[in-house]
Amino acid sequence: MRFRDRRQAGRELAERLRERRDEGALPDPVVLALPRGGVAVAAEVARVLAAPLDVLVVRKIGAPFHEEFGVGAMAGDGVPVFDRDALFRLGLDEADLAPVVERERAELRRREELYRRGRPAPEVRGRTVVVVDDGLATGSTARAALRALRARAPGRLVLAAPVASPEAAALMRGEADEVVCLYEPAAFMAVGQWYEEFDQLTDEDVLEALHQRQA
């Protein structure tokens, strides 16, 4: 199964979440997208659930010699969440990653300021928070997001994605109150392989989606 694009994936995911809402599992929801890719999916979810849409910026922490290899992530609170097994395998410790962490923390702040435009972060205390991404490969970014949100005392914390590796989905079930995922294919290599169109979104795409939902 492949999705045509993120919007189609979002519509299908939204229908599954609507079923959960109608069952009483998603009271008073607020939808938080993990930008950039998660925003296009989350916009459809927020529309169907008639819920507020906002973003939770998360930055991957890459290995110093191979930045695409994620060894951790950080969310809005700026506290890094590391993959201890990955650090051990690579012979790294947190001190080795200090320059990467500072660079990603600065980029996190830049994007938060850009996307928020002075708006405060949404109030999540006691509410159902639905965190949406376009897919989960390792789950490292989603884990950082969930831990940052958990510290803000939501009533219920739900992670939703159209597709995930079985390993990531299992890991996230230990972090979220519920994980809603349409597909968990065994032959999972990368999120993009499950989309016919998987263009990189821009900051402008994120701002447009937020503006349309908040208008």
Q: Which of 47-51, 78-82, 147-151, 165-169 has the lowest mean pLDDT?
A: 78-82
**Where do the structural domains in the chain lie, given as residue ranges?**
6-57+118-214, 59-114
| Cβ atoms within 10 Å of 12's Cβ, excluding its own | 17
pTM of structure: 0.91
**CATH architecture, domain defined by 59-114:** 2-Layer Sandwich (3.30)
Is residue 14 within 8 A of residue 45, CB to CB? The reply is: yes
> What is the rounded CA–CA span in Å between residue 159 and residue 148?
13
> Could you read off the pLDDT of 115-166 as tens digits, one per residue?
988 888 889 999 999 999 999 998 988 999 999 999 899 999 999 999 999 9
3-state DSSP call for residue 164?
Answer: strand
With 0-12 / 13-18 / 19 or more C-beta atoms within 10 angstroms meaning exposed / middle / buried, residue 117 is exposed
What confidence category does residue 108 fall into, taking pLDDT thresholds of 50, 70 and 90? very high
Environment class of 41 (CB within 10 Å of its CB; exposed 0-12, middle 13-18, buried 19+): buried
CATH-assigned architecture of domain 6-57+118-214: 3-Layer(aba) Sandwich (3.40)
Query: Which class for 173: exposed (0-12), middle (13-18), buried (19 or more C-beta within 10 A)?
Result: middle
Number of Cβ within 10 Å of residue 66's Cβ equals 10
